[in-house]
């Protein structure tokens, strides 16, 4: 048998600089591809600093023994002309001439792995590489490049950043953190993760988007600054992440030079579009980029930027792209140097104003698709508003802050409040009285939610005066409704009740059912504050009925959650539990921060009562973390009970309470949802309501169990495989048999008799 080891090509592999971290899945896949005889050319494609060279080196070391003539490494970084590629390959192979015939002859029948590192700036030489792979059937070529070679038979292999820390996993499970720690230990062998530096290390890895070169350069800065200090320095990463290895390629000495190497390869039009990308935060869509650039060929330029690995695809409700954060900073620097910067910023702001106003038109109906679009562009919306304020574009700022109100809602009360203050301080706000009135009204709401009642009254007084001058009766009535809730929150219940009754008459005259639902809800909360629980329950029943008429799932979620709480406080758990589960199901479909943290805390009482103390403590932690993120204090009708539950769990659990509560504060509501639903289902199953005596048929019960969950007739019909008309007949029959007047009373009867029909029960 021939010993091919004695006939190895004289090329050699560079030394491995350090252990390769976090790339095992990529190594396995790339190795599998190169073992496939159908794959002749594999291109590791990715942005600068992403670790393509290091990955290729590890692949070469791993596969070299499997090739009869081993692996040959050719570093192309220092070459300047595509015509130099063939001579460089010939030299590595020990061929005296770069003639293609001589090269193919020298390669012979033995298998060989040829690695071409840093190919992106030598694109015209791709045809030479293709000719080699075509003429030498046992040759495998592995290329590292920021762009694809675009030749037949090429297999592209995208290389992305290292995975970042995932929630609820040990920090060292993240390859990005592993690499940072490994590199830090080359600077200081005693460096290790501690409770003190873990938050800073996590944030550093996230800020640098898991880019290996950026992590290595950042770790090297630990020679002069600890992680907390480094974190603050990384507000401008391109200034900090320099002085890389002197024995590496010239474009790897700093993060700036690495990115600049790619930018230099762009066409003039691509560079202009790349600079425009610097105005975006958190990513962008193609329509947004086109609106900012104003160029007809923006899509073609975007394709080129993706080809050069400067722009990455991103997740979102529609096609979306982003720049890794250090690349975005480079683009932002280029953007700042443009002569038309302000004009492009205004285009950016106006695009996102249009997006926000389109969402605003859907309010008050909840639209998950629109909400998702705005969530994806939250950073851009904030940047647009910041520019409008700083540039003193008062009209644009007033319109934008109004449009964002329904989107922010309770999820960002403190943020909304601060922006309103800045916008209202702009010059010439009085020139837009209608927009000014809306902004003052919104300030009244956020001030109320933050329990800043003095500021709320002042803002609402001004808003009411403006609405009166504008002859806007609906706006004036809405101010009175909010003002009544301010009185109630401040403990002035009698004037609050009087004002609620006055406003109720106004909205009845307007037949404004949504506002009437809000009046009933606020009245119920006022009665909760007064401890008048039966009166509160009746108000929330009215809210439930109106929300059902309006087909408002959010309204039903609030109404049934508060009905459940009122029943619980009165000791009527057989009513409270099924209502709680229904409210929970509604809430999961209509995200609202206030609804979520209040309802989750209420569920914690049921978990405590069921003896599931660890779960109750985690729920308390999760709920309070959500509440704190909004900036809102606990409402006075809940605050005493929150303190009571806290004290009871602390007494019952001791130190474990704080452990579980802290764990809960790191969880999302979605993480806890399965346990909460299982707990409610267990409690409902363990203490079912007595089987009611009733004249309903089995099919009527089937309809009732679905109706009580707020499912419309058409969906009930589909579920039961009957017609919608038949559903209506069953409902009419049940109303007559039970002597109730409407569907809400029918649902109430079902709940009181344990017929909620929830899947969790």
> For residue 321, what is the domain's CATH number?
1.10.10.10
Which residue among 686, 714, 737 closes a domain?
Answer: 686
User: Do 633 and 565 share a domain, yes or no?
Assistant: yes
User: Do 63 and 204 share a domain, yes or no?
Assistant: no
For residues 490 and 487, give the distance between their C-alpha atoms in angstroms, rounded to a whole number. Answer: 5
User: Do 280 and 182 share a domain, yes or no?
Assistant: no
User: Do 498 and 358 share a domain, yes or no?
Assistant: yes
User: Do 510 and 379 share a domain, yes or no?
Assistant: yes
CATH number, position 384: 1.25.40.10
Q: What number of other Cβ atoms are within 10 A of residue 373's Cβ?
A: 20
Task: Note the pLDDT of residue 99.
Answer: 64
User: Do 191 and 275 share a domain, yes or no?
Assistant: no
Token output for 314? 């991103």
202 within domain boundaries: yes
What are 145's strand-pairing partners?
45
Task: Note the pLDDT of residue 4.
Answer: 31
DSSP 8-state class, residue 337:
T
Which residue among 660, 686, 712 closes a domain?
Answer: 686
User: Do 500 and 353 share a domain, yes or no?
Assistant: yes
- Residue 230 exposure: Cα atoms within 13 Å on the Cβ side: 28
User: Do 19 and 92 share a domain, yes or no?
Assistant: yes
Q: Using CA of residue 95, residue 98, residue 102, residue 107, what is the dihedral sign? A: positive
Walking along the chain (761 residues) 10 residues at a time, the average pLDDT comes out as: 38 80 93 93 93 94 92 91 90 74 74 93 92 88 94 94 84 90 92 91 92 92 91 84 61 78 92 96 96 94 94 91 93 92 96 92 67 90 97 97 91 93 96 97 96 96 96 95 96 94 93 93 94 92 89 90 92 86 88 91 93 95 94 92 93 93 92 91 69 67 80 82 84 79 77 55 33
Look up the domain containing 190 and give its range: 171-256
Helix, strand or coil for residue 169? coil
Task: Note the pLDDT of residue 170.
Answer: 81
User: Closest Cα to residue 363, out of 402, 326, 313?
Assistant: 402
Please answer whether residues 735 and 727 qualify as being in contact, where contact means their C-beta atoms are separated by less than 8 angstroms.
Answer: no
758 within domain boundaries: no
User: Do 376 and 294 share a domain, yes or no?
Assistant: no
Which residue among 112, 127, 158 closes a domain?
Answer: 158
- CB burial of residue 549 (10 Å; 0-12, 13-18, 19+): middle
692 within domain boundaries: no
760 within domain boundaries: no
User: Do 365 and 505 share a domain, yes or no?
Assistant: yes
261 within domain boundaries: no
Domain count, the chain: 6
Task: Note the pLDDT of residue 2.
Answer: 32
Task: Note the pLDDT of residue 248.
Answer: 53
Residue 309: left if φ>0, alpha if ψ -120 to 50, beta else—which one? left
Task: Note the pLDDT of residue 245.
Answer: 60
User: Do 607 and 657 share a domain, yes or no?
Assistant: yes
166 within domain boundaries: no
666 within domain boundaries: yes
Please answer whether residues 740 and 746 qualify as being in contact, where contact means their C-beta atoms are separated by less than 8 angstroms.
Answer: yes
User: Do 362 and 510 share a domain, yes or no?
Assistant: yes
């Amino acid at each position: 048998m021939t010993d091919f080891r004695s006939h190895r090509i004289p090329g050699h592999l560079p030394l491995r600089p350090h252990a390769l971290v976090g790339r095992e899945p990529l190594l396995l896949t790339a190795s599998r591809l190169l073992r496939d005889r159908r794959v002749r050319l594999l291109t590791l494609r990715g942005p600068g600093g992403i670790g393509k060279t290091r990955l290729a080196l590890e692949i070469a070391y791993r596969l070299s023994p499997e090739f009869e003539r081993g692996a040959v490494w050719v570093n192309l970084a220092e070459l300047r002309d595509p015509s130099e590629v063939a001579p460089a390959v010939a030299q590595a192979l020990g061929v005296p001439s770069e003639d293609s015939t001589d090269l193919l002859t020298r390669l012979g029948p033995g298998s060989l792995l040829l690695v071409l590192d840093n190919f992106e700036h030598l694109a015209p030489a791709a045809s030479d590489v293709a000719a080699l792979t075509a003429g030498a059937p046992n040759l495998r070529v592995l290329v590292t490049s920021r762009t694809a070679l675009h030749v037949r038979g090429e297999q592209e292999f995208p290389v992305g950043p290292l995975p970042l820390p995932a929630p609820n996993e040990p920090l060292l499970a993240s390859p990005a953190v592993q690499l940072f720690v490994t590199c830090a230990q080359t600077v200081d062998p005693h460096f290790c993760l501690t409770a003190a530096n873990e938050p800073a290390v996590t944030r550093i890895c996230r800020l640098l988007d898991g880019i290996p070169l950026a992590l290595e350069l950042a770790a090297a800065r630990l020679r002069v600054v600890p992680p907390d200090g480094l974190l603050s320095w990384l507000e401008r990463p391109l200034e900090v992440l320099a002085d890389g290895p002197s024995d590496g390629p010239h474009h790897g000495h700093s993060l700036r030079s690495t990115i600049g190497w790619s930018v230099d390869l762009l066409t003039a039009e691509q560079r202009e579009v790349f600079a425009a990308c610097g105005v975006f935060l958190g990513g962008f869509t193609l329509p947004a980029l086109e609106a900012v650039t104003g160029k007809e060929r923006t899509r073609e330029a975007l394709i080129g930027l993706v080809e050069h690995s400067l722009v990455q695809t991103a997740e979102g409700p529609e096609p979306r792209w982003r720049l890794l954060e250090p690349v975005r900073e480079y683009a932002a620097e280029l953007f700042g140097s443009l002569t038309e910067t302000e004009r492009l910023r205004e285009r950016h702001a106006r695009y996102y104003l249009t997006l926000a106003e389109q969402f605003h038109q859907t309010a008050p109906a909840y639209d998950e698709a629109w909400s998702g679009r705005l969530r994806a562009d939250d950073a851009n919306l904030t940047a647009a508003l910041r520019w409008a304020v700083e540039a003193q574009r008062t009209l644009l700022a007033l319109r934008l802050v109004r449009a964002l109100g329904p989107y922010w809602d309770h999820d960002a009360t403190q943020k909304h409040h601060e922006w309103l203050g800045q916008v209202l301080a702009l010059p010439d706000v009085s020139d837009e009285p209608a927009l000014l009135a809306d902004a003052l009204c919104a300030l009244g709401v956020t001030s109320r939610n933050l329990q800043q009642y003095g500021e709320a009254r002042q803002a609402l007084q001004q808003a009411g005066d403006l609405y009166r001058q504008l002859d806007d009766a609906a706006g004036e009535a809405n101010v009175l409704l909010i003002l009544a809730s301010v009185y109630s929150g401040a403990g002035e219940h009698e004037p609050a009740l009087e004002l609620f009754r006055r406003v109720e008459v106004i909205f009845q005259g307007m037949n404004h059912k949504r506002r009437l639902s809000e009046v009933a809800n606020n009245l119920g909360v006022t009665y909760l504050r007064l401890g008048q629980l039966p009166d509160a329950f009746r108000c929330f029943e009215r809210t439930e009925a109106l929300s059902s008429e309006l087909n408002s799932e959010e309204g039903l979620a609030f109404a049934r959650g508060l009905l459940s709480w009122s029943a619980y406080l009165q000791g009527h758990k057989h009513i409270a539990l099924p209502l709680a589960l229904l409210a929970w199901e509604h809430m999961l479909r209509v995200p609202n921060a206030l609804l979520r943290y209040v309802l989750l805390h209420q569920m914690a009482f049921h978990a405590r009562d069921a003896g599931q103390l660890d779960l109750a403590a985690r729920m308390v932690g999760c709920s309070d973390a959500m509440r704190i993120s909004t900036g809102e204090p606990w409402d006075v009708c809940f605050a005493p009970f929150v303190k009571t539950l806290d004290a009871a769990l602390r007494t019952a659990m001791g130190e474990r309470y704080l452990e579980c509560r802290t764990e809960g504060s790191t969880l999302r509501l979605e993480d806890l949802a399965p346990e909460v639903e299982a707990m409610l289902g267990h409690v409902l199953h363990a203490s079912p309501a007595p089987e009611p005596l009733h004249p309903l048929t089995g099919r009527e019960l089937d309809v009732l169990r679905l109706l009580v969950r707020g499912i419309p007739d058409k969906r009930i019909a589909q579920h039961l495989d009957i017609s919608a008309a038949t559903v209506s007949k069953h409902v009419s029959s049940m109303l007559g048999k039970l002597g109730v007047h409407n569907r809400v009373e029918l649902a109430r009867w079902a709940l009181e008799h344990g017929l909620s029909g929830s899947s969790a029960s």
